Amino acid sequence: MKRIHLIVGLLATLAFVLSGQAMHFHRPKLQTLPDDVHLMYVSRHIYLAGAAMVNVCLGLYLKEQGALWRKAFQRLGSVFVLLSPVFLLLAFVQEPSMGMAGRSWRTQLGLIPLIIGVGLHLVANLAAKSNSAQN
C-alpha cells in the first residue's frame, strides 16, 4: 500500500503543479474573472495539493498494523485517500468555470473520502498506540 500511496501522491503532486500552470497561463487572466470563478479555481487547486500531500505522507510513513480490524481500517482508509485526488482533479477541471454554482459531486467525492480515510487511519493508529501503552 505504501508504494501505491507514494505513486498516487507523486502523480497528484504533478497534477497540482500542472493545475498551477494552467491557472498561471489561463486566458483571460484569472484576476480578471469574477471573484467566485477565481475562488473556485484556487480552492480546487488547494484541495488537490492537500490530497497529494496526504498520499505522499502515507507513502513514506505508513506502517501496517498487526490486528486484523486495524489493518482493515487502514486498507479501507487507504482506498478512500487514494480515490480523493482523482475526483479533486476532475473538480479542478470541470467546476470553476461555473462559479459558485459549479460546486458538485466531484468536490464532495474528493474531500469527504479524504477526511474519512484519514480518520480511519487515525483510529487504527490510536488503537495500536493505546494497546502498546497497556503492554
pLDDT of residue 32: 86
Mean pLDDT for the stretch of residues 47-73: 95
pLDDT tens digits, one per residue of 33-43: 888 888 888 99
Assess contact for 112 and 39: CB atoms under 8 A: no
pLDDT tens digits, one per residue of 77-89: 999 999 999 999 9
pLDDT tens digits, one per residue of 3-16: 999 999 999 999 99
Q: What one-letter code names the amino acid at 32?
A: T
Return the residue matching grid coordinates 487547486.
45
Angle at 23 between CA 86 and CA 17, to 5 degrees: 55
Q: According to the 3-state scheme, what is the secondary structure of the chain?
A: CHHHHHHHHHHHHHHHHHHHHHHHCCCCCHHHCCHHHHHHHHHHHHHHHHHHHHHHHHHHHCCCCCCHHHHHHHHHHHHHHHHHHHHHHHHHHHCHHHHHHHCCHHHHHHHHHHHHHHHHHHHHHHHHHHHHHHC
Q: What one-letter code names the amino acid at 99?
A: G
C-alpha cell at 63: 506502517
